[in-house]
Copies of this chain bind each other. A is one copy, B any other.
Amino acid sequence: MSHSTTNTSDVLALDSLLGSEELELREKVRDFKDQRIRPNIARWYEDAVFPRELPAELGELGVLGMQLEGYGCPGRTAVEYGVAAMELEAGDSGIRTFVSVQGSLAMTAIHKWGSEEQKERWLPRMAAGELIGCFALTEPTAGSDPSSMASFARRDGTGDDAGWVLSGSKRWIGMASIADVMVVWANTDDGIRGFLVPAGTPGVAVTPIDAKLSMRASIQCDVVFDAVRLGPEALLPGAMGLRGPFSCLNEARYGIAWGAMGAARDSYEAALEYAGSRMQFGRPLAGYQLTQEKLVNMVLEIQKGTLLALHLGRLKDAGKLHPEQISAGKLNNVREAIKIAREARTILGGNGITLDYPPMRHANNLESVRTYEGTDEVHTLILGQHITGVPAFR
């Protein structure tokens, strides 16, 4: 059943564009999703819990920091990372988000900008899922405008031993309440720098955001830094300016372009299966023109979005992927995935509003995904500047 569904979903034979290792990895992650996420996600979601046993399992699956080389990281290709993200988000965006925060944000920041000592201390155990990282960039009053960052780290003393005193507020920080280490971005007298703040550092207050209508099986937090004293070793030596966090955001956005199509595909497949078995006026719903129109438009956009994600992945593996291309992928694929999940939900009738079926959960999750790492508007204006040469942000 699952096999044949997949085949009719793959109208354009996109599978023929994947190599055997890519297909193998996909099967492996898909199995994980079918066995570990699918049977439990409704409960996790209703109860608003992130399953603490999952990080170690995902580490074993090999999807944490999977595109990084060395330090115990899997060292897979960008396409492989994308394929895995798609299957995980076919499970739940919140689970894929954990993988993105851990691998594309926290681990990538350390891998790219950290000292040798920092890398060795954190990366292997993060790749294994034994330690959890988070990435504190967004601030309460500046979701789409990181350049107005108000968090500040001032030098604490002078000379090589001089540490830092960090103050400020962050919001929407994924996994912060369970993180063993935070990558924190703050202004300094030398511009924006990154810091590693271990769990338990005095002066750090973390409050999970509750009463969420989206990604309830995930965690996002408010974090307040109240004159937090950090030693000199807390600084990420390699990152200077906004380029530091932005390069991590681009990693995450790339994964999102794939992931969103997973949520879309899962929504579509649920609707297709329901439409095939639900009878109305003596015929399966799938036999009505109004239903077919919906299903066809869904599958078309899923296929186009997947083709786009794969194209981006091939460019990335060739070292030729540009930020505006990632913006195109994130903007398009999340936007279309939301439309698809919503349309799928309508095919399910009243049953579609329960957690027994995935489309409405996916649609709600994707509202978070749409917002984080750049809203539709932000990516539209990034692309607008690229094609016209004129900025229109202000």
Task: Confirm or deny: A178 has a beta carbon within 8 angstroms of a beta carbon on chain B.
Answer: no
User: Could you tell me the distance between the alpha carbons of A284 and B355 in the complex, rounded to whole angstroms?
Assistant: 37
The answer for the CA separation of A141 and B351 in the assembled complex, in Å, is 11
Q: Is the CB of A289 within 8 A of B289?
A: yes
Q: Does A1 contact B (CB under 8 A)?
A: no
A141 and B350 within 8 A (CB) = no
- The answer to whether B287 touches A290, judged by C-beta atoms less than 8 angstroms apart, is no
* Inter-chain contacts of A325 with B (CB < 8 A): 11-13
Most buried by B among A13, A275, A387: A387
Give the residues from 361 to 377 in chain A that come closer than 8 angstroms, CB to CB, to chain B: 361, 364, 367-368, 370-372, 375-377
| Residues in B neighbouring A172, C-beta threshold 8 A | 350
**In whole Å, how far is A255's beta carbon from the nearest beta carbon of chain B?**
18
Given contacts A290-B293, A300-B332, A354-B209, whether A11 and B324 have CB atoms under 8 Å apart is: yes
Enumerate chain B residues within 8 angstroms of A364, measured Cβ to Cβ: 213, 353, 360, 364
Is A200 part of the contact surface with B, judged by Cβ < 8 Å?
A: no
**Contact assessment for A353 and B308 in the assembled complex, using a CB-CB cutoff below 8 Å:** no
Q: Measured between C-beta atoms, what is the minimum distance from A319 to chain B in Å? A: 12
CB distance from A376 to the nearest CB of B (A): 7
Q: Which applies to chain A's interface (DSSP): helix, strand, loop or mixed?
A: helix
From B350, B367, B394, A353 is in contact (CB under 8 Å) with: B367
**A350 contacts B371, CB within 8 Å?**
yes
Please judge, given known A-B contacts A290-B293, A356-B211, A360-B214, whether A300 and B331 are in contact too, CB under 8 Å: yes
Q: Does any Cβ of B come within 8 Å of A61's Cβ?
A: no
Q: Return chain B residues, CB-CB under 8 Å to A39.
A: none
Whether A296 contacts B349 by the Cβ 8 Å rule is no
Chain A interface extent, by class: 35 or more
A179 lies within 8 A of chain B by Cβ: no
Q: Let me know if A304 and B292 touch, CB within 8 A.
A: no
- Does A26 belong to the interface (CB within 8 Å)? no
A295 contacts partner chain B, Cβ-Cβ < 8 Å:
yes
- In the complex, the answer to whether A349 meets B143 with C-beta atoms within 8 Å is yes
0/1 string, A311-335, CB within 8 A of B gives 1: 1100100001010110010011000
CA distance A46 to B210 in the complex (A): 9
Contact, CB under 8 Å: B349 / A272: no
Binds B, one of A50-58, A189-197, A378-386: A378-386
Residues of chain B within 8 A (CB-CB) of A331 are 296, 300
Residue among A14, A141, A312, A388 with the highest chain B CB neighbour number at 10 A: A388
The interface residues of chain B lying within 8 Å CB-to-CB of A375 are 346, 349
The CA of A209 and the CA of B352, in the complex, are separated in Å by: 12
* Contact surface of A with B, Cβ cutoff 8 Å: 8-9, 11-14, 16-17, 42, 46, 138, 141-145, 148, 171-172, 209-215, 272, 275-276, 279-284, 286-293, 295-297, 299-300, 303-305, 307-308, 311-312, 315, 320, 322, 324-325, 328, 331-332, 345-346, 349-350, 352-356, 360-361, 364, 367-368, 370-372, 375-377, 380-381, 383-394
Would you mind naming 28 contact pairs between A and B with Cβ atoms under 8 Å apart? A8-B389, A11-B383, A12-B325, A17-B311, A46-B210, A143-B349, A144-B349, A148-B281, A171-B350, A275-B388, A276-B389, A276-B390, A281-B393, A286-B390, A287-B390, A288-B377, A289-B289, A289-B290, A292-B385, A296-B331, A307-B307, A307-B308, A350-B372, A352-B367, A353-B364, A353-B367, A360-B367, A364-B364
9 nearest CB pairs, A to B: A292-B384, A289-B289, A286-B388, A211-B355, A287-B390, A214-B353, A296-B383, A8-B387, A304-B304
